Amino acid sequence: MKQRAQFATKIGVIATTVGSAVGLGNIWRFPYEAGTHGGGAFLMVYLMCVFIIGVPVLCAEFVMGRGTHKNVRGAFKQLHSSRLWHFCSYTGILASLMIISFYSVVAGWVLEYFFQAISGTLTDPTAASHASTRFSAFCSSTFRPVMWTVLFLAINHLIVSRGVQKGIERVSNTLMPMLAFILVALCINGVLLPGAAEGLTFFFLPDFSQITPSVILGAMGQAFFSLSLGLSCMLIYSSYFSDDVRLVRSATTIALLDTLVAVLAGVIVFSAVFSYGVQPEQGPKLVFEVFPSIFAEMPGGYVWAVLFFLLLFFASITSTISMSEISIAFFSEEYSMSRNKAAVISTTIAVVFGIICALSFGVLSDLTIFGMTVFSLFDFVSSNILLPVGGVMFSIFVGWFLDRTFLRNQLTNNGSVKVYTFKIIVFLMRFIAPTAIITIFIYGLI
Ligand code: PHE
């Protein structure tokens, strides 16, 4: 048995978990989901999902991970004798492989934009005025999107096969605050754009007539995706926490910071969307169509663009590292493989499906299942089905099947911290989260 790694500092705990949570989910997926689901209505439901469902499920994963210092299967084995619970490990692994496949495609788009930013084409005013057509031409082409996807996965592979936890911790500590700084600057720039007010109204003012079951399902899926929840990613990270980390406080901090980044991204994107007269219901391409115009018109746009896409790349890689950890831990521990071999297997799967996802916008756009391209199908099935299913299982397991004293000891660090919210969290975990997820799930899918 190898010596288990542990995060070195309290800041490291927050930085790495926030590093996993903050990524393309906040800056790419959140704005486009909000755009297709009515803006303010989506935001409101999203916030409720994060704090009523997300935080308790996050606590449930933390209790299992930190309480056992094991991977997901090991944790279930230690905590309960029934094999039924092992099922939760499999949905998580499947989800992590699906997510990493389509996520790498978008991270590849980020790399393309980073190089366009360096060469100056991204912020060139004439090119930026055709940002939408240029982006569509790029993502429907064959070579470059595939090349970037594979390159991104190769970088990810190099990092995860070496298991550089220390490196991850250090990278997250410095780069995440920098990303936040740039987002704030972009936000100020955004609200000063002519016509931004309309965008802010769209984003912040809920139109209750827009709240449909599919909006609620989308918001819940987004909350799971953005908090890296329901696939045992946070469970694995928390198995590296030391015993004095405060779980409820950490979960709340992560949720707040993650939400803050998403809201900042929303402000930036919707100010620009309305200012430049773009349709908010674009879907996955939305952010990539508006960012070039933002940077082209912003003072010092060249530098901001280069920095922004570089940091977005880092934010993406800290997220994919955490996704890879799930399947690597599974393959290496279940089949007692070396970490390296396990990484090769999961990268190979991701490359194959990543290429298919990358081509979903071009040559494979006619390959549809249930009316969705492979890219959208992976996105939909993982976020809106597999992650909520995982969330229900974690909250029910920890809320109902776990020893009460164990749960209390974990949430209160053996009684040494007073967790005023203990009762609330347990109540949410036992009753509210599972019922809410199941109800949303059934209505949303029908
Ligand atoms: N939460 C990450 C993001 O918002 C994505 C992610 C999902 C990471 C699932 C790990 C596990 O970008």
Nearest atom within ligand 1 for CA of residue 233: 11
Q: What is the pLDDT of residue 409?
A: 94
Tokens at 261, concatenated: 């980044």
323 in contact with ligand 1, CB cutoff 6 A: yes
Contacts of 333 (CB under 8 A, 6+ apart): 71, 73, 74
pLDDT value of position 399: 95
pLDDT of residue 415: 87
| Alpha-carbon distances, residue 36 vs 39, 184, 196, 303 (angstroms) | 8, 24, 18, 31
pLDDT at 1: 39
Q: Which atom, in ligand 1's list, is nearest to the CA of 30? A: 4
Cα of 126 from ligand 1 centre, angstroms? 34
Q: Tell me the CA–centroid distance for residue 217 and ligand 1, in Å.
A: 17
Low-confidence residues in the chain, pLDDT < 70:
1-12, 163-167
Residue 52 confidence (pLDDT) = 96
Nearest CA owner, ligand 1 atom 11: 228
| pLDDT per residue as tens digits for the range 305-339 | 999 999 999 999 999 999 998 888 888 877 888 88
- Measured torsion, CA atoms of residues 10, 391, 408, 430, in degrees rounded to the nearest 10: 150
Out of 17, 20, 104, give the residue to mutate to test ligand 1, the one with the largest number of ligand atoms within 8 Å of its CB.
20
Identify which of 93, 226, 381 to mutate to test ligand 1's pocket (most ligand atoms within 8 A of the CB). Answer: 226
- 284 close to ligand 1 (CB < 6 Angstrom): no
Q: Does the predicted model carry a pTM greater than 0.85?
A: yes
Is residue 262 within 6 Å of ligand 1 at its C-beta? no
pLDDT value at position 10? Answer: 65
Give the model's pLDDT for residue 169. 72
Query: Could you tell me the distance, in angstroms and rounded to a whole number, from the CA of residue 432 to the centre of ligand 1?
Result: 24
pLDDT of residue 398: 96
- Whether 286 and 273 have beta carbons less than 8 Å apart is answered as yes
**CA gap 263, 22 in Å, rounded:** 12
Which amino acid appears at position 225 of this protein? F
Alpha carbon of 34 to ligand 1 centroid (Å): 17
Ligand 1 geometric centre to CA of 411 (Å): 24
Q: What is the pLDDT of residue 167?
A: 66
